[in-house]
Amino acid sequence: MIGRAVRLRWGSATDVGQLRSVNQDSMLVGPGIFVVADGMGGHQGGEVASALAIETVSDRSFGPDVGELVTAVEDANETVFERSTQDPSLSGMGTTFVGIAIVEVDGEERLGIVNVGDSRAYQLTGGQLHQITDDHSLVGELVRDGRLSREDARTHPQKNIVTRAVGIDERVEVDDFVVIPYTGDRYLLCSDGLTDEVEERDIAVVLRTIEDPDEAARELVRRANEHGGRDNITIVIVDVVDAGGVAPPVPDADDFSESDDDTQTFLAVPDDRAHEQGSPASAQRSDDELNDLLDGARDHSEPKPQRAVTVRSVAFVVVVLGLLGAGAYLVNDYARNTYHVIIDDSGEVSIYRGRAGGVLWFDPSLEERTGIEAADVPATFRDRLTDGVNQADRPAAERYVANLEDRIEALAPPVTTTTSSTTAPTTTTQPG
Ligand code: MN
**How many angstroms separate the alpha carbon of residue 353 from the centre of ligand 1?**
32
Length of the chain equals: 432
Q: Would you place residue 417 in the very low, low, confident or very high pLDDT band (cuts 50, 70, 90)?
A: very low
* pLDDT reported for residue 257: 38
How far is it, in rounded angstroms, from Cα 432 to Cα 415? 19
**CA 399 and chain centroid, separation:** 40
Q: Is residue 398 pLDDT above 50, yes or no?
A: yes
Q: Is residue 428 pLDDT above 70, yes or no?
A: no
**How many angstroms separate the alpha carbon of residue 115 from the centre of ligand 1?**
15
**How many angstroms separate the alpha carbon of residue 229 from the centre of ligand 1?**
10
Is residue 370 within 8 A of residue 349, CB to CB? The reply is: yes
Residue 381's H or E segment, with its range, is helix 379-387
Q: Would you place residue 227 in the very low, low, confident or very high pLDDT band (cuts 50, 70, 90)?
A: very high
Q: Once rounded to an integer, what is the mean pLDDT over residues 11-30? A: 96
* pLDDT reported for residue 332: 61
Handedness of CA 153, 158, 160, 162 (dihedral sign): negative
**How many angstroms separate the alpha carbon of residue 419 from the centre of ligand 1?**
53
Q: Is residue 243 pLDDT above 60, yes or no?
A: yes
More confident residue, 266 or 191: 191
**How many angstroms separate the alpha carbon of residue 192 from the centre of ligand 1?**
5
Q: Is residue 290 pLDDT above 70, yes or no?
A: no
**How many angstroms separate the alpha carbon of residue 404 from the centre of ligand 1?**
48
Q: Once rounded to an integer, what is the mean pLDDT over residues 243-267? A: 47
* pLDDT reported for residue 427: 43
More confident residue, 80 or 296: 80
Could you tell me what percent of the chain has a pLDDT over 90?
46
**How many angstroms separate the alpha carbon of residue 328 from the centre of ligand 1?**
27
Classify 175 as helix, strand or coil.
strand
**How many angstroms separate the alpha carbon of residue 98 from the centre of ligand 1?**
13
**How many angstroms separate the alpha carbon of residue 214 from the centre of ligand 1?**
21
Q: Is residue 46 pLDDT above 50, yes or no?
A: yes
**How many angstroms separate the alpha carbon of residue 77 from the centre of ligand 1?**
18
Give the chain's end-to-end CA distance (angstroms, integer): 84
**How many angstroms separate the alpha carbon of residue 409 from the centre of ligand 1?**
55
Q: Would you place residue 275 in the very low, low, confident or very high pLDDT band (cuts 50, 70, 90)?
A: very low
**How many angstroms separate the alpha carbon of residue 320 from the centre of ligand 1?**
22
**How many angstroms separate the alpha carbon of residue 46 from the centre of ligand 1?**
10
* pLDDT reported for residue 280: 33
How far is it, in rounded angstroms, from Cα 429 to Cα 431? 6
More confident residue, 294 or 44: 44
Q: Is residue 236 pLDDT above 80, yes or no?
A: yes
**How many angstroms separate the alpha carbon of residue 79 from the centre of ligand 1?**
21
| Amino acid, res. 79 | T
| Amino acid, res. 257 | S
**How many angstroms separate the alpha carbon of residue 205 from the centre of ligand 1?**
22
More confident residue, 27 or 60: 27
**41-50, 109-118, 158-167, 319-328: least confident range:** 319-328
How far is it, in rounded angstroms, from Cα 156 to Cα 361? 10
**How many angstroms separate the alpha carbon of residue 180 from the centre of ligand 1?**
29
**How many angstroms separate the alpha carbon of residue 96 from the centre of ligand 1?**
9
Most confident of the following: 69-73, 294-298, 427-431: 69-73
**How many angstroms separate the alpha carbon of residue 289 from the centre of ligand 1?**
30
Q: Once rounded to an integer, what is the mean pLDDT over residues 227-256? A: 78
Q: Which residues of 367-393 are buried (b: 16+ CB within 10 A; e: fewer)?
A: bbebbbbeebbeeebeeebeebbbbee
Q: Would you place residue 385 in the very low, low, confident or very high pLDDT band (cuts 50, 70, 90)?
A: confident
How far is it, in rounded angstroms, from Cα 402 to Cα 395? 10
The average confidence (pLDDT) of the chain is 78
* pLDDT reported for residue 323: 54
**How many angstroms separate the alpha carbon of residue 187 from the centre of ligand 1?**
19
**251-255, 282-286, 330-334, 386-390: least confident range:** 282-286
Q: What does the H/E/C string look like for 190-207?
A: ECHHHHCCCCHHHHHHHH
Q: Is residue 135 pLDDT above 90, yes or no?
A: yes
**How many angstroms separate the alpha carbon of residue 231 from the centre of ligand 1?**
6
How far is it, in rounded angstroms, from Cα 124 to Cα 208? 8
